[in-house]
Structure formats: structure tokens, C-alpha cells
Amino acid sequence: MLGLIRLSHNICWEIVLANFLYIDIVLLHALTCTHAALVNKGCAVFSRGDVEKGRDYFQEALNVEATCTEALYNLGLAYKKTNRLTEAMDCFVKLHSILKSSSHVLYHLADLHDRMDDFEQATET
């Protein structure tokens, strides 16, 4: 009889531990799905040379928080790096509507206009 009590006691603790582990995993997933965490992941893989995966993380961050300027800026850089200039331009135009006086955004807008042979617009930017 004593053996059965210990066995049920051990099973009970295993269930408790499994529930705590499940809760930790759910919380960890929730924390890693914040827009800031996704931008950080995107920057990490982007800096290691995986621009496509970085772009995916930046896009996912924007899906979580549509006004995340860091994700939008880095997404624009990723598009620029892969020569998808129209998509990059869209990102920086959106950013410019949010951050009107950002010299970094203005630089990328002018550079994109220059790369797209829109020299008049490049000088106006």
C-alpha cells in the first residue's frame, strides 16, 4: 500500500511540473512574439547575412504592432539590400509620414530615388 501512495505522489508531482513547464513555454512564446523581440531577432539574423529571414521577422513585428518604426525601418533596409526598391520606397515613405524630420529616413528616400533614376525627386528629398 505504501508503494502505491508514493507512486501516486510522484505522478501528482509530475503533473504539477508538467503544468508549470507548459505555462513557462506559453509565457516564453508570448514574450518572444512581442514586436520588440521580433525586431531583435530580425536584426540578429540580418546581421549574420540572412536578409530574407530578417525581413520575415520585421514583417511579423509589423503584423504584431503596425506602428513599430524600428521594424518598418529595418524592413526597408532589407528590401533595399535585396534590390526590391519599390517595396523599400513604400517602407520609407510610410516612415517619413511618421518621422517627418528623421535624417536617416530622408537619406534613404533620396538614395532610393537616385537608384530608381528619379533624380529630380532625389534632390527635392
Please report whether residue 54 resides in a domain.
yes
Q: What is the pTM of this model?
A: 0.70
Number of domains in the chain: 1
Please report whether residue 118 resides in a domain.
yes
The CATH number linked to 57 is 1.25.40.10
Instruction: Give the range of the structural domain holding residue 50, as residue numbers without chain letter.
Output: 34-124
The DSSP line for 19-83 is HHHHHHHHHHHHHHTSHHHHHHHHHHHHHTT-HHHHHHHHHHHHHH-TT-HHHHHHHHHHHHHTT
The SS3 assignment for 49 reads coil
pLDDT in tens, 53-81: 999 999 999 998 999 999 999 999 999 99
pLDDT in tens, 13-26: 444 444 444 445 54
Please report whether residue 7 resides in a domain.
no
